[in-house]
């Protein structure tokens, strides 16, 4: 093989999850710019304020389910064979897995024998290779295929491995495992030998060609990849009446019989153009999506002198198409530059892994002004932007007006992972398939923005009523949702989980099930868990969810209140140890007291043996930190249904579930010392039971 005319390239799907900073440095080659500055240059759209404290550690750890590598070999010339290979392994047994290798523009062209190249939006195309099977833990796979691309141009190559079955997997620490992996590259096919690029690079196109995905076409010829060329209507007025006809944007030629009706040629009309922006959804196997809500900036220039003719801006609609642009001249006389930015009046996504000065830029075009411009956006940045826009709409629907612009930044790998830094204006999303794509990608950005909203708009950061008083660097590193942490960490993380599922319930079916079934708490300490769930994120988020949801299938869940009622209580709750000095609550026990307005620490339970037992709860809090009074917005004032709910979710106390009447009776408040003890001798316990897995409880 003549290496001067061939390429052999290997593109590895980097396993981005939380690693020490030293390893992060070794992996820095997997991002575009590992040394990108943490702050935006002066004059940019917005600056980023970094909290004064270093993060305690990774927030949402997402262990990868799969590894994936992509290899490309060949000269990358039109009509020459290109050898493609995907290989990898499964880290966890998975019942149904699909591996796909697809060239979207090639698949679209094949539909019409390369007459029209129209990539459909929201539709799966025929892959070059597909594997559908189950995988065992550690099982490897390797698939190969050879393709030819008959025409020069720029083609997207996408490899994905995605879990199609619904099983929910957690690792041995309780982290929810991701659902896929992927890698995408662009193939520049050229008569003189092509190349592979990580991103769409408009600078590769020679003068006189449109910088669009798919087969190359000249500026004077409408590209074959389109959603439809812009069309103008030409009108002339001969002596026998007006004649109208439609033509493409190259001008208004006379109708064939014009000489017979004695008319003179009309002046050439101005050409018009419109840009349609799409990206490929790796979480759906490479399906093409419209990029809506993105800002377009355009400059129309004189094609001879380069002088600016006009400028403008607008936003893409639901179909990804922007407003019609008047070229103010014929196509042959005008060039246009269009820049796509992931920003609008409500949301902003900034790509700090990009070397471009404008880090909101997600796509660009420079070429002839006329017809439809098909723009390919950088997929990760575009998809993150779409998720942030959906979060804005959902927050507005559930909680009312969003108090600020929703901002997210794509940052280089740091070793700390995706997170919200106290006081920052954006949430930090670091590279990784499971932090951008699929259900976990939705969860990561929404969870982190839940932290920001909680900190800055429910707790009024940075004063002492902010999220800092909960965390104060005390969240363990890491902190899986099923593990024991502390009051502050459990409540702060649980709120962010709950916020995410409330906003994006239909996009987070796995997480919704986790909250509904209290799965992560019971996973860690067992289905008979009697340990203190007030310091377990998984138990607290289940309680918040059951307060909000409308599920009537759980006998213990008879509470349903609006999400705003819960957040109003969170915002206004204060407690006092001496009934004089009130301060912000610091755990779920304090919040429960604000919500139910009765002594929360001791409860009289009637067991199945008919004997009343006084039990003390929230025993992980020191007694000198217990509150004796509370005030704020009550949610379920003196409600047995609410008491039943938190006893089940936080302590798995299930006596009398489904019966009516006084189920749980509040013990009369007493001095802190002595504490009421259980008058009944405890039943003998299994000597093998542990704090981690819980002990059986007899009723």
What angle, 0 to 180 degrees and rounded to 10, lies between the N-to-C axes of helices 487-503 and 438-453? 120
Q: Does residue 237 register a pLDDT over 90?
A: no
Q: What is the pLDDT of residue 654?
A: 66
User: Strands 665-666 and 66-74, how do they pair?
Assistant: unpaired
Overall average pLDDT of the 19-23 stretch: 32
C-alpha to C-alpha distance for 311 and 226, rounded to whole angstroms: 23
Predicted confidence (pLDDT) per residue in 605-641, tens digit: 766 667 777 788 898 888 778 888 999 989 998 888 8
Q: Can you list the alpha helix ranges (DSSP code H) found in 597-669?
A: 640-651
Q: Does residue 101 register a pLDDT over 70?
A: yes
DSSP 682: P
Write out the two tokens for 329: 């001249």
Rg (CA), the chain: 30
Q: What is the pLDDT of residue 186?
A: 96
Q: What is the pLDDT of residue 458?
A: 84
Overall average pLDDT of the 514-526 stretch: 81
Predicted confidence (pLDDT) per residue in 535-579, tens digit: 999 999 999 999 999 776 777 888 899 999 999 999 889 999 888
Predicted confidence (pLDDT) per residue in 312-363, tens digit: 999 999 999 999 999 999 888 999 999 999 999 999 999 999 998 999 999 9
Q: What is the pLDDT of residue 275?
A: 94
Overall average pLDDT of the 220-230 stretch: 41
Q: What is the pTM of this model?
A: 0.81
Q: Does residue 25 register a pLDDT over 90?
A: no
Q: What is the pLDDT of residue 506?
A: 96
Which of 643, 615, 616 is closest to 699 using CA atoms?
615
DSSP 694: B
C-alpha to C-alpha distance for 465 and 84, rounded to whole angstroms: 56
* DSSP sequence for 24-74: HHHTGGGSS-TT--SSPPTTSS---PPPSSPPSS-SS----SEEEEEEEEE
Q: Taking a C-beta distance cutoff of 8 angstroms, is the pair 379, 280 a contact?
A: yes
């Amino acid at each position: 093989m003549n290496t001067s005319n061939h390429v052999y390239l290997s593109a590895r799907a980097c396993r981005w999850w939380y690693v020490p900073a030293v390893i992060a440095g070794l992996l820095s080659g997997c991002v575009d710019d590992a040394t990108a500055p943490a702050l935006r240059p002066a004059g940019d759209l917005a600056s980023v304020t970094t909290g004064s404290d270093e993060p305690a550690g990774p927030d949402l750890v997402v262990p990868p389910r799969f590894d994936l590598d992509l290899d490309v070999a060949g000269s990358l010339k039109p009509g020459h064979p290109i050898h493609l290979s995907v290989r990898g392994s499964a880290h966890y047994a998975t019942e149904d897995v699909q591996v796909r290798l697809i060239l979207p523009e090639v698949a679209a062209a094949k539909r019409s024998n390369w007459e029209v190249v129209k990539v459909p939006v929201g539709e799966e195309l025929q892959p070059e290779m597909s594997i559908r099977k189950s995988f065992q833990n550690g099982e490897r796979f390797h698939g190969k295929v050879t393709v030819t691309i008959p025409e020069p141009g720029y083609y997207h190559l996408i490899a994905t491995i995605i879990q199609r079955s619904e099983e929910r997997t957690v690792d041995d620490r309780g982290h929810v495992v991701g659902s896929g992996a992927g890698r995408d590259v662009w193939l520049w096919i050229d008569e003189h030998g092509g190349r592979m690029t990580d991103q769409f690079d408009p600078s590769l196109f020679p003068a006189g060609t449109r910088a669009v995905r798919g087969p190359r076409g000249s500026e004077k010829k409408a590209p074959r990849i389109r959603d439809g060329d812009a069309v103008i209507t030409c009108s002339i007025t001969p002596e026998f009446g007006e004649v109208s006809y439609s033509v493409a944007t190259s001008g208004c030629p006379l109708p064939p019989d014009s000489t017979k009706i004695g008319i003179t040629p009309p002046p050439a009309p101005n050409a018009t153009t419109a840009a349609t922006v799409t990206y490929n959804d790796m979480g759906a196997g490479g399906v093409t999506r419209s990029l809506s809500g993105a800002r377009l900036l355009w400059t129309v220039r004189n094609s001879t002198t380069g002088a600016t003719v006009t400028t403008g801006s607008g936003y893409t609609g639901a179909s990804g198409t922007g407003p019609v642009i008047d070229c103010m001249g014929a196509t042959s006389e005008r060039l246009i530059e269009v820049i796509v930015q992931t920003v609008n009046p409500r949301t902003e996504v900034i790509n700090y892994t990009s070397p471009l000065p404008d880090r909101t830029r997600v796509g660009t075009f420079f070429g002839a002004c006329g017809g439809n411009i098909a723009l390919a956006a950088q997929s990760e940045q575009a998809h993150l932007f779409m998720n942030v826009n959906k979060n804005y709409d959902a927050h507005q629907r559930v909680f009312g007006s969003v108090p600020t612009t929703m901002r997210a930044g794509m940052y280089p790998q740091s070793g700390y992972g995706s997170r919200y830094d106290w006081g920052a204006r954006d949430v930090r999303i670091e590279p990784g398939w499971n932090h951008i794509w699929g259900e976990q990608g939705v969860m990561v950005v929404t969870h982190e923005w839940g932290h920001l909203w909680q900190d800055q708009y429910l707790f009024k950061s940075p004063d002492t009523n902010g999220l800092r008083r909960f965390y104060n660097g005390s969240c363990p590193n890491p902190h899986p949702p099923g593990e024991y942490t502390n009051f502050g960490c459990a409540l702060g993380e649980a709120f962010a989980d709950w916020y995410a599922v409330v906003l994006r319930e239909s996009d987070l079916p796995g997480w919704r099930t986790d909250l509904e079934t209290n799965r992560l708490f019971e996973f860690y300490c067992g289905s008979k868990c009697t340990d203190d769930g007030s310091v377990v994120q998984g138990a607290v988020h289940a309680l918040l969810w059951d307060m909000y949801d409308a599920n009537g299938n759980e006998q213990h869940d008879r509470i349903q209140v609006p999400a705003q009622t819960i957040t109003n209580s969170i915002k206004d709750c204060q407690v006092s140890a001496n009934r004089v000095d009130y301060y912000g609550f610091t755990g779920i026990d304090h919040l429960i007291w604000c919500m139910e307005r009765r002594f929360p620490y001791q409860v009289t339970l009637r067991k199945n043996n008919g004997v009343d037992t006084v039990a003390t709860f929230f025993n992980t809090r020191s007694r000198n930190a217990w509150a004796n009074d509370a005030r704020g917005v009550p949610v379920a004032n003196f409600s047995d249904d609410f008491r039943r709910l938190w006893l089940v979710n936080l302590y798995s106390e299930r006596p009398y579930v489904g019966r009516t009447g006084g189920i749980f009776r509040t013990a009369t408040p007493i001095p802190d010392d002595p504490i009421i003890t259980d008058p009944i001798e405890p039943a003998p316990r299994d000597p093998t039971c542990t704090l981690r897995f819980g002990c059986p409880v007899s009723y």
